[in-house]
Amino acid sequence: MTGKTRGFTLIELVVTVSIVGLLASAAAPLLELTARRNRDQELRSALREIRTAIDAYKLAVDQGRVRKTVLQSGYPPTLAALVEGVPDARSPDKRLIFFLRRLPPDPSFPDPKADPAETWGKRSYASRPERPEAGEDVFDVYSLSNKVGLNGRPYRAW
């Protein structure tokens, strides 16, 4: 029984592990970029969904479907009003009009268990665009995050 046993040498194993490690380290930045791109897309989508609902609420007020007083701007008083619904002034049985099924949270907010309404910064109709402040209504929403998107703009400015 004389024969050579076949197998890998230590050098071959070290070279193989080194190559796999090199490929993995090259793929890590790509995975990070993909994660950032997904987070940016989630934020963009959530902002679009909420802003569309705010605009739909304002349109319903302008059409007379939602009652407002002379002192009100016509924008929703809270983000919760978009989900909870408001009575339809034109409906004889006062059916509710809903503008969102659920309020999406800010994907860049650090606490995933926080109430979605608390994850957004709110700008009232009476506040200045360059210095958004909460007030008696919700004219717009913005991210409270200090992070910067792939486009180079801070999430707060989206």
Length of the chain: 158
**Domain membership flag for residue 142:** yes
**Domain membership flag for residue 78:** yes
**3-state SS class at 140:** strand
- Dump pLDDT digits (tens) for 49-97: 999 999 999 999 999 999 998 889 999 999 999 999 999 999 899 899 9
pTM assigned to the model: 0.81
Residue 1, pLDDT > 60, answer: no
Residue 6, pLDDT > 70, answer: yes
Residue 104, pLDDT > 80, answer: yes
The predicted pLDDT at position 51 comes to: 97
- C-alpha to C-alpha distance for 62 and 84, rounded to whole angstroms: 20
Residue 86, beta-bridge partner list = 97
**Domain membership flag for residue 94:** yes
- Dump pLDDT digits (tens) for 69-79: 888 999 999 99
Closest CA to 150 of 26, 2, 40: 40
Chain Cα centroid distance, residue 150: 15
Domain count, the chain: 1
**Domain membership flag for residue 67:** yes
The predicted pLDDT at position 24 comes to: 83
Mean predicted confidence (pLDDT) in 104-111: 92
- C-alpha to C-alpha distance for 30 and 19, rounded to whole angstroms: 18
Mean predicted confidence (pLDDT) in 114-139: 92
**Domain membership flag for residue 48:** yes
- Of the two residues 148 and 130, the one the predictor is more confident about is 148
Beta-carbon contacts of 51 under 8 Å, excluding residues fewer than 6 positions away, are: 140, 141
The predicted pLDDT at position 3 comes to: 60
Domain containing residue 65: 13-149
**Domain membership flag for residue 158:** no
- C-alpha to C-alpha distance for 124 and 138, rounded to whole angstroms: 5
Residue 135, pLDDT > 60, answer: yes
**Domain membership flag for residue 56:** yes
Give 109-130 as a DSSP string.
-S-TTS-GGGGEEEE-TTSBTT
DSSP strand pairing (86-87 vs 140-143): unpaired
Q: pLDDT band at 7, cuts 50/70/90?
A: confident
**Domain membership flag for residue 69:** yes
